[in-house]
């Protein structure tokens, strides 16, 4: 019998090859070392096909005759198609950037991660606050905004991020192995308070619960930390500057630099200019995501 390509094996676990070929043929592309796995990485098609949110094309290119024009400030650009990855392999992501005006103080290049069901993995799904594992002391019902937990001694309330980016994760693995990650069983974004009332711990949620949970349900504090998995974050000026980062393996528990987020089977490339109130154009060229030896 003819052997399946390695990448095909990595993303059709539990699904027949025939079904995968019919439903997602573009995801079964071969991954050869050195081959750019992105479509239209250099804008040479004359348009932004394969990308979401590049507003226009420039003739001021690093290579060839065209380059992308990025949004000036805060606008996220991402590749359009899911690219399958095998976290056991090594990959490199690179791109060239150039400002047509003021210096950009923070340009970021990275990856959005997706699971085997092609659902996006957010930082809230995989960023636990270590040591906060505990249990619900009492049942919690859909619509409730207060959780009563057994121990909140290690829970953290930081006024800069907790009110907007704090979460409670349910049905967690409290063994230290973090086998529940990515955990999608989260409260809505935001915690209003973590407090002791009459010697008992309570967590006040910013949004009502969307489901019921029994007493004894294992819970943990999580937080959202970054829009995606950033590999390179640097300033740029008026000359072309290359960004490049490598990634391999899966993070276990707390996020680890240079590793895919837990559960990752597919990715999309992410680009953002994070310089506040930046009005000039930023050019992007030669975006390459490739497997390396």
pLDDT digits (tens, 9 = 90+) for 30-71: 567 789 999 999 999 999 999 998 989 999 999 999 999 997
4 pLDDT more than 90? no
Find, among 191, 259, 271, the residue nearest to 224 by Cα.
191
| Segment among 5-9, 134-138, 282-286 with least mean pLDDT | 5-9
What integer pLDDT is reported at residue 31 of this predicted model? 62
- Give the chain's mean pLDDT: 89
What integer pLDDT is reported at residue 14 of this predicted model? 38
What integer pLDDT is reported at residue 73 of this predicted model? 79
191 pLDDT more than 70? yes
169 neighbors 185 (Cβ within 8 angstroms): yes
pLDDT digits (tens, 9 = 90+) for 66-106: 999 997 777 789 999 999 999 999 999 999 999 999 899 99
Q: What is the pLDDT confidence band of residue 279, given thresholds at 50, 70 and 90?
A: confident
Domains in the chain: boundaries: 35-122+227-292, 128-223
CATH match for 35-122+227-292 among 3.20.170.30, 2.60.120.260, 3.90.1170.40, 3.30.360.10 = 2.60.120.260
Find, among 224, 134, 225, the residue nearest to 188 by Cα.
224
CA atoms within 13 A on the CB side of 100: 16
What integer pLDDT is reported at residue 280 of this predicted model? 87
237: CB partners within 8 A, 6+ apart: 98, 99, 103, 104
Q: Whole-prediction pTM value?
A: 0.86
274 pLDDT more than 60? yes
């Amino acid at each position: 019998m003819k052997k399946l390509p390695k990448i095909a094996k990595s993303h059709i676990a539990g699904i027949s090859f025939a079904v995968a070929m019919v439903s997602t043929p573009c995801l079964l592309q071969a991954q050869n070392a050195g081959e750019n796995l992105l479509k239209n990485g250099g804008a040479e098609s004359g348009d932004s096909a394969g990308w979401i949110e590049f507003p226009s094309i420039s003739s001021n290119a690093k290579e060839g005759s065209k380059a992308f024009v990025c949004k000036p400030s805060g606008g996220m650009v991402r590749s359009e198609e899911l690219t399958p990855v095998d976290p056991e392999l090594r990959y490199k992501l690179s791109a060239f950037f150039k400002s047509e005006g003021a210096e950009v103080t923070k340009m970021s290049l990275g990856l959005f991660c997706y699971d085997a069901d092609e659902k996006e993995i957010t930082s809230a799904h995989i960023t636990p606050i270590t040591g906060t594992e505990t249990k619900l002391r009492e049942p919690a019902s859909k619509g409730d905004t207060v959780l009563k937990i057994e121990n909140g001694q290690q829970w953290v309330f930081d006024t800069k991020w907790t009110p907007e980016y704090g979460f409670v994760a349910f049905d967690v693995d409290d063994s230290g192995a973090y086998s529940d990650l990515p955990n999608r069983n989260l409260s809505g974004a935001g915690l209003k308070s973590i407090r002791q009332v009459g010697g008992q711990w309570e967590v006040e949620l910013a949004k009502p619960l969307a489901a019921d949970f029994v007493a004894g349900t294992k819970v943990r504090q999580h937080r959202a930390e970054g829009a995606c998995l950033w590999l390179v974050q640097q300033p740029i000026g008026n000359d072309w500057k290359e960004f490049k980062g490598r990634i391999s393996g899966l993070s276990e528990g707390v996020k680890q630099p240079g590793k895919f987020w837990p559960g990752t089977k597919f990715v999309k490339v992410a680009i953002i200019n994070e310089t506040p109130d930046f009005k000039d154009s930023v050019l992007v060229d030669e975006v390459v995501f490739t497997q390396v030896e």
